[in-house]
Amino acid sequence: MVGLSELFSDVKARITREGSLPEHMTISLIGMAGIGKTTLAKKLLNDPFILSRFKKRVFVTIGPKYTLERVLSDILRQVKTTREVDDDKMIVLVGEEGKLAALKGLIIKGLEDCRYFVVLDDLWDIKLWYRELAELFIWRGDDSRVLLTTRIGDVASISADWGFNYRMRFMDNKESWDLFRRKVFGDQQESLPYELEKAGKKIAENCAGLPLTIVTVANIMSKVDKTTEYWTEVAGAQRHSVFLNAYCWPKTYTQVHVSYK
């Protein structure tokens, strides 16, 4: 993962640390949109060692416009066993308040007696954690973990009190170019013409260190003529249509989870 390898190793070590205390249970990744929080969280969730260490793994995207029922249902679908299917069906027979309580009860039941790793992605509302979600993840001394990703400082304070905070940094110019080049040219090792590479580095720099923007711009540039003239034109204008299109690109604007290596 370009620009994330060191952070990945550090966070992974925290997640898999044995003999930890209750205050080590929660970890936060904080940073602005497009900086790589979700990418890093997914890489951690699917890491082979983490796969072997945690019996149950959960990934739920929350966002600013959520419903508690949807969040709880998403969690439950990933933790329940076949024994709980009948209980799950019974939820529809109770009222709204009873339904939420039933969902919570099934989640707690599903997480009993196992080590789990839960990712709550794009958490905006600190009240959601303290009023509704924290009670689901009971410390049992089994080194279970909850990883939060957020762009909100107040939300990150959850882990400041109870665990660890990691602030995601912007990519530097070298990392930006490495990612941009890989996305445009693949694993091609041949050196590029000097002027084309110079323009490419400037284009990558104009993406302001945001991985999602770099990947989106690279996707656009991979589909156009790779001429020095055109690349120099793009590099020389931060408001070039390539950048404007990238900012309006659905994957960028809605934060679809682009994976980059």
98 has pLDDT over 90: no
Structure tokens at 42: 């997914």
Global pTM exceeds 0.85: no
Which residues 6+ apart lie within 8 Å of 22 measured at CB?
139, 162
Homologous superfamily, domain 5-167: P-loop containing nucleotide triphosphate hydrolases (3.40.50.300)
Kind and range of the H or E run holding 148? strand 145-150
Predicted confidence band of residue 254 (pLDDT cuts 50, 70, 90): very low
Q: Are 148 and 159 in contact (CB under 8 A)?
A: yes
pLDDT, tens digit (0-9, with 9 covering 90-100), for 157-194: 776 665 688 989 899 999 999 999 999 998 776 788 99
**Start-to-end CA span in the chain (Å):** 4
Predicted confidence band of residue 237 (pLDDT cuts 50, 70, 90): confident
d(CA 135, CA 231): 53
Q: What's the order of all strands across the beta sheet hosting 163-167?
A: 56-61, 116-121, 145-150, 26-30, 163-167
Report, as an integer, the average pLDDT of 225-238: 89
pLDDT, greater one: 234 or 244: 234
| Residue spans per domain, the chain | 5-167, 173-253
pLDDT score for 91: 53
Structure tokens at 229: 């003239």
d(CA 202, CA 227): 15
d(CA 232, CA 119): 42
Report, as an integer, the average pLDDT of 119-143: 90
Q: Are 211 and 171 in contact (CB under 8 A)?
A: yes
pLDDT score for 64: 93
126 has pLDDT over 80: yes
